[in-house]
Structure 1
């Protein structure tokens, strides 16, 4: 693959001060595979992703599932709301067909294991990471607002505790756009890394005095592109930066110039190729 000269130079400058950023698979290898399915995460691992990102929501019967939207219209063609449904009800739905709705009519399409299209529980994803043959990290985002409030973070910390993953050596970190959610995680598991996600550049001056110095900051790539002052302020403050959702060479160039620690991408294989493997 041909790499642009600007990316190559940025990689060399970045390497002069620190290692390259960690490549995090956003909802799995979700550019090509239905997001949040086991197949998407296995593909990301096979492609070399160093960490997996997922969103979690709590079902009516208390299970954490990997689903981004509060309702299921986009990913399961269902009008249901995750928080009002039991896990068994969710397990009856197809979370994969939306990505390629015509695949059943394509005689040359590879056969798909129906289990790969089932709703993915966080526990199953953690089991997959724990059993993998190399070190893999997790970036877990709790979605808010939700009817269950702080119960989401409590259940998340309990689940991580079942794996012994609540200490400083945990492969997991917790993210949210909710300041209250991050404060809850720190109270429940003081040693867990937390990532304060930033949706808009103008939110940072408000958040800055309320987040601890060791919190990671997670701005979106669009905000870094449109408001370059945000990146400069974060670097000047010595903040560790994790950026979402980085899918192009130009996106990666911005991140390398800032010396970010992690890039969260729908295309982990492409990011690794741009970074040289």
Structure 2
């Protein structure tokens, strides 16, 4: 495990969604370890949390749960300094394999979950004249590989949401960060549905073979948020993908076409099997 980030000047009040496992748990641990007051939320009725943190069940698709979280923050913390919209699901698949129910589920969780969190706490942060919204997106929100349409579209929406809020809330002293990692070792693959098993196998393999885990990503995210960086590319692969698309567009397009060709071959093999 890499070293924890240096503590902030004063303890912060932090809410982390999806904080019972994976990146959310690693982020909650980093903030709690340096003395911040952390409210961890997730779908389970209860969960183990770091020393000094508290827990509340929160379904990010339920407005009533967000209202309850707001009341808890007001009562227990007296305000909020950092909201980490981390909860989300993995998704993938070829466009003709994904039905309307798949799209609704992905966008409801990955997009509207973050939107509702921002909507819920923006009035408090504006009234305070301070605060930081941290939206966990993905490199898939910046570069758009084939056979990931629902995930790409959802994470691109989170990037757009974050940039818009950056300009909207900045005059009130509210900062915004959007975090766009590539695959790293976590339990995210467990949230993949069964719409397209071939593409799910590919995604699971990419997650499992990554050299980075949630702890390393969390350390980098916390440092970037402390520095008030807007676009956070916490791993080298994310940085390469982002800058390749921006500065070497022909190479980027060649890579994407190559991915599409491999999917085409895999589908032909699948049909012959």
| TM-score (ref. length: structure 2) | 0.34
Q: Which has the higher strand share?
A: 1
Larger RCO, structures 1/2 (Cα 8 Å, 6+ apart): 1
